[in-house]
């Protein structure tokens, strides 16, 4: 059995989510630019999500042994015709990285997207320099579609961004459809 489970984020999670968002060590690994975010902004952001969640799924990654919330996994911008959505993952708790949790969570999140959400395609963007994330996505079966040159701006530098995707059939062939 997996050592983690996914549940929907709640407003009570915002203090931890806000701490991760303010941590440059974390945000340096993400495609978006660093921004200062107050807890009030994050609570308002969460309430916006909770009142309109048709195309967005925002989940907490939790340890089974003690229910500790160690990261987030989002499936965003779900398109009803193409049945495609965008994948995001973050293990915010540094001590929990490199232990296999990201891989387990990615597979659980993809299974949820394909088998519960009836998605056909899941895509993502990742900094080319984020070798751990690129390696994780390849191991889980994502295919590299291309490189967006200088598409991110971080710490004064433009950085390349890779586009990757996985289709439902590819997921089932690798991870099973049960
Ligand atoms: C990227 C991230 C989700 C990976 O999760 P993780 O729990 O740390 O990774 P895992 O332990 O599941 O390892 C998955 C694969 O990543 C690779 N990996 C793990 N640690 C690594 C390291 N230190 N360096 C390079 N690759 C590494 C390995 O290929 C590993 O597969 P393997 O164990 O079968 O060899 C996590 O590290 C994280 O949230 N980092 C910060 C935010 C981030 O980068 N998010 C992704 C943005 S696109």
Query: What local confidence, expressed as pLDDT, does residue 1 receive?
Result: 73
Q: For the chain, how many residues are written? A: 178
Cα–Cα distance measured from residue 115 to residue 63, given in angstroms and rounded to the nearest whole number: 22
Q: Return d(Cα 123, Cα 6) in angstroms, integer.
A: 19
Q: How far is the centre of ligand 1, averaged over its atoms, from the C-alpha of 51 (Å)?
A: 32
Q: In ligand 1, which atom is closest to the CA atom of 130?
A: 44
Query: Which of 96, 98, 148 to mutate for ligand 1's pocket (most ligand atoms within 8 Å of CB)?
Result: 98
Residue 129 near ligand 1, beta carbon < 6 Å = no
So what's the pLDDT on residue 177?
82
Whole-number Cα distances in Å, 81 to 22, 64, 123: 36, 35, 15
In the chain, % helix, strand, coil (3-state, to 5) comes to 35, 35, 30
Q: Which residue's alpha carbon is at the smallest distance from atom 21 of ligand 1?
A: 132
Residue 9 belongs to domain with CATH number: 3.40.630.30
Neighbours of 57 (CB within 10 A): 21
- Residue 150 CA to residue 129 CA, distance in Å, equals 12
For ligand 1, is residue 136 a contact (CB within 6 Å)?
yes
Under a CB-based contact definition with an 8 Å cutoff, are residues 103 and 109 in contact? no
Q: Rounded to the nearest whole angstrom, what is the distance from the C-alpha of residue 55 to the centroid of ligand 1?
A: 27
Per-residue pLDDT, 178: 73
Please list the alpha-helical segments (H only) found in 37-140: 39-51, 101-111, 131-140
Testing ligand 1's pocket by substitution, the residue of 3, 132, 139, 166 carrying the most ligand atoms inside 8 A of its CB is: 132
Segment-wise mean pLDDT, segments of 10 residues, the chain, 178 residues: 94 98 96 96 97 95 98 98 98 95 98 98 98 98 98 97 98 91
Structural domain count, the chain:
1
Q: Is there an atom of ligand 1 within 6 Å of 92 CB?
A: no
Long-range contact pairs involving 41-46 (C-beta distance under 8 Å, separation at least 24): 42/14, 42/17, 42/18, 43/11, 43/14, 46/9, 46/11, 46/14, 46/17
Q: Write out the residue range of the structural domain in which residue 160 sits.
A: 4-175
91-109 burial, b if ≥16 CB within 10 A, otherwise e?
A: bbbeebeeeebbebbbbbb
């Amino acid at each position: 059995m997996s050592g983690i489970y996914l549940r929907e984020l709640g407003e009570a999670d915002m203090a931890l989510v806000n701490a991760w968002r303010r941590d440059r060590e974390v945000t340096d690994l993400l495609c978006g630019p660093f921004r200062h975010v107050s807890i009030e902004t994050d609570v308002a952001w969460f309430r916006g999500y909770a009142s309109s969640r048709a195309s967005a799924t925002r989940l907490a990654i939790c340890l089974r042994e003690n229910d500790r919330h160690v990261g987030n996994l989002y499936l965003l911008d779900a398109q009803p015709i193409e049945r495609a959505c965008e994948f995001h993952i973050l293990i915010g708790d540094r001590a929990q990285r490199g232990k296999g949790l990201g891989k387990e969570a990615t597979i659980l999140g993809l299974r949820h997207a394909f088998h519960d959400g009836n998605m056909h395609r899941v895509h993502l963007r990742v900094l080319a320099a984020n070798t751990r994330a690129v390696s994780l996505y390849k191991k889980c079966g994502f295919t590299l579609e291309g490189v967006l040159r200088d598409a991110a701006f971080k710490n004064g530098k433009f950085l390349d961004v890779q586009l990757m995707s996985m289709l439902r059939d590819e997921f089932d062939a690798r991870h099973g459809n049960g």
